[in-house]
Amino acid sequence: MNIHKVAALLFVLMAGTLAYAVTSLSIPSNFNIVASPLNISSNLASLEFGNIIQGEFKSMPFTITNSGGTPATLQCTIQDPTLTDGVELTLSACTGEVVSANGGTLVVTATLTASTTATTGPGTITVEISAA
């Protein structure tokens, strides 16, 4: 038998032996589990209070919905008031409130108050609501 045939036969025997020697496999798996994303929204695009008489207030409820898969803890901030002195916007039940996951809702009431000395004219206040 020539040397090439012996080497081929030896290779076949070794390959067969090695194939039968492995009876189990270990395959590592790498992954990273992350929280389901938060997704909050409001039923109103803006709060339209209209005219408010000096010395009076108007309240307007709106609903925050969490369609994400994780409960959302709210942080509510009233930013950049461009209204004149004597006007105040307050929010009920907002900062620190937890909105349940998968469609949970929270009703927040915004109240705009004009003191008896409030300067007349239009204004804008931005309410920023974020979730963590």
- Span 62-119, pLDDT tens digits: 999 999 989 999 999 887 655 667 888 889 988 999 999 999 999 999 998 888 988 8
- Domain total in the chain: 1
Residues 123 and 82: beta-carbon distance below 8 Å: yes
Each residue's pLDDT tens digit, 17-63: 445 566 787 888 887 776 677 899 999 888 899 999 999 999 999 99
State the DSSP code for 45.
S
Is residue 72 domain-resident? yes
- Determine the pLDDT at residue 121: 83
Q: Does residue 18 belong to any structural domain of this protein?
A: no
In a domain, 30, yes or no: no
The CATH number that applies at residue 102 is 2.60.40
> What is the distance between the alpha carbons of residues 17 and 14, in angstroms, rounded to a whole number?
5
Q: Is residue 95 part of a domain?
A: yes
Name the pTM for this structure.
0.70
Q: Could you list the residue range(s) of the whole structural domain that residue 63 is in? A: 40-131
Closest of 107, 99, 110, 109 to residue 39, by C-alpha? 99
Per-residue pLDDT at 127 exceeds 90: no
Average pLDDT over residues 115-124: 85
Return the SS3 of 130. Answer: strand
DSSP state of 30: -
HSE-up (13 A, CA, CB side) for residue 48: 2
Question: Which of left, alpha, beta for 82 (phi over 0: left; psi -120 to 50: alpha)?
Answer: alpha
Residue 74 placed within a domain: yes
Q: Considering the domain boundaries, does residue 70 fall inside one? A: yes
Is residue 107 included in any domain, yes or no? yes
